[in-house]
């Protein structure tokens, strides 16, 4: 289905909606495209200058919308290509239908992982998963977007931090399946860190604490970390919610917060990338070990979901799989044992 209308400043707006891995737009040298992500059928829009303003020379530009390859082709040549593409899309294809039925998706969000390029992350995982059954990988940079999307789904696989899983399972039916491994460890610790001018946690009364978790999860973690006689001061804290663990540590370094609650691994990362700032900090309290990110499946998993779980579990046994897992701070994933499941389901 396609529609065309006039936009602001005299542009021609061409909007096309298809369910395909390739979307084609025609018009006078489309300059930009935008997508409404997280939809089963991607709705994409390209804005093009009037044809009269263009040189008329055929040009082809490629970009990516929501992880799918998109080709922008001006003029009549592109219209021909689009028509041919649309014709192919409408024809029944046993191969395409089989991939649609089998392929599933893993939805990823983890505030404890420092990711700078989500497009590259998605591209690398898609390149691997698509060859193992037509699966795909959808990372999210914002927790609100991730939760809004997965809470509306009835099927799928998610990869999230263990504390986030416990929050989600209060709102949806999830089965925990696997846990991440870093070396031989499947747990990590959370650390309350401040500048060395803060002698202990009692000096934080009424101060601002930076955390990548929600306010509720941060308060809960602090109650487990600090002794009962300090629980009163926890209620006085102001929680500054930031996107990533590394942002929480930077907030302390730049004076935006008096302390940060992060994973131990994030402190090690800061030591590597900025040893001077790391030297200014010291730990005030450390939690017991908590599970690394977990893989869970929505109850009522499809055949595609079950196949995807097997593919994810096998990634740690393949060099190309390990390479991609390390992009999210893991070496492999293994099945949870019963005691670990009970911890997550508490």
CATH code of residue 152: 3.40.190.10
Specify the pLDDT at position 2: 38
Which range is least confidently modeled, 88-97, 186-195, 291-300?
A: 88-97
* Tens digits of residue pLDDT in 25-41: 333 333 333 333 333 33
Specify the pLDDT at position 244: 85
Report pTM: 0.61
Question: In 3-state terms, what secondary structure has residue 304?
Answer: helix
Q: Is the pLDDT of residue 191 over 60?
A: yes
For residues 102 and 58, the model is more confident at 102
For residues 148 and 103, the model is more confident at 148
Examine the domain organization and report whether 182 and 314 are in the same domain: yes
Examine the domain organization and report whether 253 and 314 are in the same domain: no
Examine the domain organization and report whether 208 and 222 are in the same domain: yes
Examine the domain organization and report whether 66 and 209 are in the same domain: no
Average pLDDT over residues 290-313: 93
Average pLDDT over residues 95-124: 76
Identify the domain boundary among 29, 57, 91.
91
Q: Per-residue DSSP letters for 241-277?
A: E-SSHHHHHHHHHTTS-SEEEEEHHHHHHHHHH-HHH
Q: Is the pLDDT of residue 188 over 50?
A: yes
Task: Report, in angstroms and rounded to the nearest whole number, the Rg of the chain calculated over CA atoms.
Answer: 24
Structural domain for 120, as ranges = 99-186+291-344
* Tens digits of residue pLDDT in 39-81: 333 333 333 333 333 333 333 333 333 333 444 444 444 444 4
Examine the domain organization and report whether 179 and 197 are in the same domain: no
What is the Cα–Cα distance from 245 to 113, expressed in whole angstroms?
Answer: 7
Laid out side by side, the sheet with 332-335 consists of 136-139, 105-109, 157-160, 294-298, 174-181, 332-335
* Tens digits of residue pLDDT in 192-238: 999 999 999 999 999 999 998 778 879 988 998 999 999 999 999 99
Examine the domain organization and report whether 177 and 295 are in the same domain: yes
* Of the candidates 105, 183, 109, 100, the residue with the CA atom closest to the CA atom of residue 144: 109
Q: How many structural domains is the chain composed of?
A: 3
Specify the pLDDT at position 332: 96
Identify the domain boundary among 91, 119, 149.
91
Q: What percent of the chain has pLDDT over 70?
A: 71
Specify the pLDDT at position 25: 34
Examine the domain organization and report whether 198 and 280 are in the same domain: yes
Contact between 258 and 198 under an 8 Å Cβ cutoff? The reply is: yes
Q: Is the pLDDT of residue 16 over 80?
A: no
Average pLDDT over residues 139-165: 92
Examine the domain organization and report whether 171 and 254 are in the same domain: no
Query: First vs last Cα of the chain: how many Å apart?
Result: 48
Specify the pLDDT at position 212: 86
Examine the domain organization and report whether 195 and 283 are in the same domain: yes
Examine the domain organization and report whether 121 and 158 are in the same domain: yes
* Tens digits of residue pLDDT in 277-289: 999 999 999 999 8
CA 311, chain centre distance (Å):
19
Examine the domain organization and report whether 209 and 284 are in the same domain: yes
Average pLDDT over residues 166-179: 93
Q: Dmax of the chain from CA atoms?
A: 76
Examine the domain organization and report whether 208 and 280 are in the same domain: yes
């Amino acid at each position: 289905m396609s529609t065309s209308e006039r936009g602001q400043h005299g542009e021609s707006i061409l909007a096309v909606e298809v369910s395909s891995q390739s979307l084609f737009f025609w018009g006078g040298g489309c300059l930009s495209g935008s997508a409404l992500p997280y939809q089963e059928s991607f709705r994409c829009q390209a804005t093009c200058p009037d044809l009269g303003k263009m040189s008329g020379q055929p040009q082809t530009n490629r970009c990516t919308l929501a992880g799918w390859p998109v080709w922008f082709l001006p003029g009549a040549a592109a219209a021909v290509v689009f028509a041919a593409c649309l014709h192919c899309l409408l024809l029944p294809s046993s191969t395409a239908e089989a991939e649609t039925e089998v392929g599933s998706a893993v939805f990823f969000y983890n505030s404890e992982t420092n990711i700078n390029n989500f497009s590259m992350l998605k591209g690398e995982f898609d390149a691997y998963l698509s060859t193992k059954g037509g699966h795909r990988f959808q990372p999210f940079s914002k927790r609100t977007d991730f939760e809004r999307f997965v809470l509306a789904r009835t099927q799928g696989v998610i990869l999230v931090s263990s504390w986030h899983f416990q929050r989600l399972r209060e709102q949806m039916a999830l089965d925990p399946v696997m846990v991440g491994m870093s070396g031989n460890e499947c747990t990590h610790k959370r650390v309350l860190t401040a500048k060395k001018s803060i002698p202990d946690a009692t000096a934080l009364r009424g101060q601002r604490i930076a955390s990548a978790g929600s306010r509720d999860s941060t308060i809960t973690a602090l109650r487990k970390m600090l002794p009962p006689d300090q629980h009163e001061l926890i209620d006085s804290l102001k929680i500054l919610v930031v996107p990533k663990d590394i942002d929480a540590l930077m907030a302390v370094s730049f004076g935006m917060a008096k302390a940060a609650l992060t994973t131990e691994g994030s402190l090690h990362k800061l030591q590597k990338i900025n040893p001077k700032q790391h030297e200014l900090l010291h730990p005030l309290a450390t939690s017991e070990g908590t599970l690394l990110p977990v893989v869970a499946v929505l109850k009522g998993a499809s055949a595609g979901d079950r196949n995807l779980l097997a593919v994810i579990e096998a990634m740690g046994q393949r060099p190309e799989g390990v390479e991609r897992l390390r992009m999210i701070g893991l070496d492999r994933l293994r099945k949870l044992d019963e005691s670990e499941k009970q911890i997550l389901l508490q």
